Amino acid sequence: MKIKKQFLFIIAILVLVIGCKQASEVTPTKPVTLRNVYEDAFYIGTALNTFQIDETDSIMAGIVGREFSSITAENEMKSIQIHPARDTFNFEYPDKFVALGEKYNMFIHGHTLVWHSQLSPWIRNIKDSTEMAEALESHIKTIVSRYKGRVNSWDVVNEALNEDGSLRKSVFLEVMGEDYLALAFKWTSEIDPKADLYYNDYNMANPEKRQGAIRLVKNIMDKGIKVDGIGMQGHWHLNTPSLEEIEKSIVEYAALGVKVAITELDISVLPNPEDLVGAEITQNFQNSEAMNPYTKGMPDSIQVKLANRYTDIFKIFLKHKDKISRVTFWGVNDGQSWLNGFPVRGRTNHPLLFDRELKPKSAYDSIIALKQKQDKQSN
C-alpha cells in the first residue's frame, strides 16, 4: 500500500514537471499591436514632438512604446532647431529622442539634414558657394557624427523638387548649383557609411515629380555616391492620389535598387481648398464652417471612408513589402497633427490612427485586421 502511494506521488511529480516544461516552451503570444502585427513586413513609425519625447503623458508614452517600431523627430532635428547659429547646436531634444528610441529598441530615423524650409537664417543668408559648401558640410558632419551608429537612417535631402520634377530654386541650388545634392549624400556617408541615406519629398506619387525624383537619385548614384532609399512622405487625401499612382511610384523607385519608405503618412478628411496636393507649408487659406465640418468629431461615414482608404493603401504596402522598409505616420494622434493648421489654420482634422482621446480609430482596427487576415491565409 505504502509503495503504491509512493509510486503515485512520483508519477504526480513527473506529470507536474513535464507539464511545466512544456508550458515554458510555448512561445507567449505577443500583444496585438501595430508594431507586433507588422513586424515581419516593415517598421511602423511615428513622428514625435517634444511633449512625446519627454514622455509627459503616460498613456501617450505607452502607445508610442507598444505600437511603433520606429520614430522620427517631427521638428527637433531641423536646422533651425538643432543648429540655430553657426556655433550653436541644440542637442538636448535630439539626444533625448535618440535615447528614447534606444529604450524601446526602435529604428531611429533622422529628419532632416538639408531642407530649404525651417532653415537657420545664418545658412539662408550665405551668398558664396564655397562658404555654403563649408556650412553644409560642417552642419551634416557634426550632427551625423554625434549620432553615428545610433540614428539608423537619415533624410539627407528633403523636398528639393518642384511639382514638374525640375529642381526647386532653393538657396542651396542658387548658391551651389546641383552639386549640393550629391555632396550632401557624400558627406553623410563619409561619417556614417552604415546609416541608410534617403531622398525625401511630398507628392511623390505624382508622375512628373516621380520622374524628377528618379532623375535626381540616379544622378547621384551615377557619380558613385550611395543613396539607399527614397522617402514618399504620404500627405494624402481620401480620394487622391490614386492607388495606381502610389503603386507605380513604389515599383519604379524600387527599380533603382533603393528601398522605399513611406515617411510622413496622414490622410486629411477635410475639404481641400483648390484641390491642393502636397505639403507646401507656405500655402494657407481662409477658414470657414464649410471648410471645417467635423469640429465635434468624425461622423461614422467618414470614419468608414478613412478606414477603407488606409486599408486600400496598406494592401499596396503589403503587396510590396519586399521593397518597403518603413511606414511612418506623421504623428500619434489627431490632436497632434500639423493638418489642423494646414492648408487652413484652426481646423479640426482627423488624419491619424488614434483620436484626440488617444483611442484607436476604425482605421487602426482595419489595418491590423488586414495583416492578420493575410497572415492566416499564408499559413
| 264 lies in the site for ligand 9MR, by CB under 6 A | yes
**Cell 555654403 appears where?**
132
Q: Near ligand 9MR by CB under 6 A, which window of 70-78, 83-91, 119-127, 254-262?
A: 70-78
List CB contacts of 192: < 8 A, sequence separation 6 or more: 144, 145, 147, 148, 149, 151
Q: Near ligand 9MR by CB under 6 A, which window of 73-81, 143-151, 301-309, 319-327?
A: 73-81
Cis check: omega of the bond before 207, within 30 degrees of 0: no
| 152 lies in the site for ligand 9MR, by CB under 6 A | no
Nearest approach in angstroms of CB 109 to ligand 9MR is: 12
Give CA–CA dist 168/172, Å, rounded. 9
| 198 lies in the site for ligand 9MR, by CB under 6 A | no
Give CA–CA dist 97/151, Å, rounded. 10
Judge contact between 291 and 271, C-beta under 8 A: yes
Q: Which is nearer to ligand 9MR, 101 or 231 (CB)?
A: 231
**Known active-site residue 92:** no
- Grid coordinates standing for 105? 529598441
Q: Which is nearer to ligand 9MR, 185 or 338 (CB)?
A: 338
Count of beta carbons in the 10 Å neighbourhood of residue 237: 18
**Known active-site residue 264:** yes
Q: Going residue by residue from 93 to 132, which x/- string records binding to ligand 9MR, judged by CB under 6 A?
A: -------------------------x--------------
Q: Which is nearer to ligand 9MR, 349 or 366 (CB)?
A: 349
Judge contact between 204 and 250, C-beta under 8 A: no
List CB contacts of 125: < 8 A, sequence separation 6 or more: none
| 279 lies in the site for ligand 9MR, by CB under 6 A | yes
| 284 lies in the site for ligand 9MR, by CB under 6 A | no
| 266 lies in the site for ligand 9MR, by CB under 6 A | no
Give CA–CA dist 198/66, Å, rounded. 26
Contacting ligand 9MR (CB under 6 A), which of 166, 281, 287, 345?
281
The β-bridge relationship of strands 324-329 and 259-268 is parallel
Active-site residue list: 159, 264
Which chain residues interact with ligand 9MR by CB under 6 A?
74-75, 78, 118, 202, 233, 264, 279, 281, 338
